[in-house]
Amino acid sequence: MTKILDGREEYKKILTAQATQARKIASHGFAVGFTMLSVGEDDAKLQYALANKRACANAGINAVYEVLPAEFTTEQVVKRIMELNADPTVNGIMVLAPYPKHIDGSKINSAISPEKDVDGQTPRCISDLYANRNGKDTFYPCTPYGAIKLLKRYNVDLDGKNVTIVGRSTVVGKPMAALMLNENATVTICHTHTKNLRAACKNADIIVLAAGKANLLDKSMVREGVVVIDFGSNFVDGKVVGDADYDGLLGIVGAITPVPGGCGPMTTAVMLENIIKAAKRQYKIR
Ligand code: NAP
């Protein structure tokens, strides 16, 4: 029997809790503000921003999606981020990736005030993550931290477990590895140069998929009872599917996140939590 790790259910609970916190902030005479910046426009970013705006509206957060011209230089984008840093009505800032090729992403991430860095991308937040400093005092990246929260919600023990992560990007695979290490898991990170992906997956108690390749993980690659976290988001025959052969793994794996409805809603949930946390800190509300 495979347990479905339902991100949507958990999202609803977190949304309700954050809406309560937003009302508490309002009772002190403050509003919660969040700005998503994009350099240039594309449909994927627009859809992502609109979904985030809807979630924020439901939580009582004023979200703004601001598109800067694609030809803006790194310095022009940094200048706009500095203005947002100084704006007391903006509690959280997120710059949506990917950036145009001429933009220096590290300068963009460094420009965001760590107090408003609700996706944990500034050097200070990344350093806190890798140094395993207290999560209460920093912001962890929404996507990998959402999956950790979901695992905890379902009481999946991470301590001492063999975790195989497929993918080494700086947005998903690497921060997920750091979070797992912070939970005392033993971590293996795989990528396109990994010699024996099958063996690495067979050895795992928990497999994390962050490759963006449909059907990458099938039943021949897993031990019975393994937990599968699937970040993958792939369009196949007009449908969004993960990196796992979901139907083929049902009944074999112990637990799995569905796509959609697993990691995606948890990313949004952590984003809401981080925005509220930032606002409460900035307004000095406990
Ligand atoms: P990415 O930057 O393209 O990185 C993909 C990683 O997977 C790379 O490290 C790559 O290895 C590795 N990889 C690709 N094919 C592989 C294979 N056949 N075997 C082993 N490793 C392989 O992607 P990303 O931004 O991390 O995103 C990964 C997936 O998560 C995507 O589907 C994305 O849409 C999704 N995503 C979901 C959420 C969410 O749930 N909220 C958020 C962000 C992203 P190399 O380094 O060797 O190239």
CA gap 163, 149 in Å, rounded: 16
Per DSSP, the three-state class of 92 is strand
Phi and psi at residue 226, in whole multiples of 5°?
-65, 150
pLDDT of 135 over the 80 cut: no
129/225 Cα distance (integer angstroms) = 29
Residue type, 212: G
For the chain, report the end-to-end CA distance as a whole number of angstroms.
43
pLDDT of 6-20, one tens digit each? 999 999 999 999 999
pLDDT above 70 covers what percent of the chain? 100
Alpha-carbon gap, residue 69 to 160, rounded angstroms: 48
Tell me the two tokens of residue 71: 């030809």
**Strands 234-236, 239-241: pairing kind:** antiparallel
Kindly state the DSSP code that residue 137 receives in the 8-state scheme.
Answer: G
What mean pLDDT is reported for the chain? 97
Ligand 1 atom closest to the Cα of residue 170 is 26
CA of 28 to the centre of ligand 1 (A): 42
Give the gyration radius of the chain's Cα atoms: 19
**What is d(CA 37, CA 19) in angstroms, rounded to the nearest whole number?**
23
For residue 69, what is the DSSP state? P
Q: How far apart are CA 64 and CA 161, in angstroms?
A: 41
Q: Which of 193, 233, 270, 274, when mutated, tests ligand 1's pocket best, judged by the most ligand atoms within 8 Å of its CB?
A: 233
Backbone angles phi, psi at 186, to 5 degrees: -100, 120
**Contacts with 17 (C-beta within 8 Å, 6 or more apart), sequence order:** none
Q: Which residues line ligand 1 (CB under 6 A)?
A: 143, 166-169, 171-173, 190-194, 197, 210-213, 216, 231-234, 263-264, 267
With the most atoms of ligand 1 within 8 angstroms of its CB, the residue from 11, 231, 234, 263 to mutate is: 231
- The pLDDT score that the predictor gives to residue 125 is 97
Q: How confident is the model at residue 137 (pLDDT cuts 50, 70, 90)?
A: confident
pTM: 0.97
CA distances for 209 relative to 34, 147, 163, 199, 265, angstroms? 30, 11, 11, 15, 16
pLDDT digits (tens, 9 = 90+) for 157-194: 999 999 999 999 999 999 999 999 999 999 999 999 99
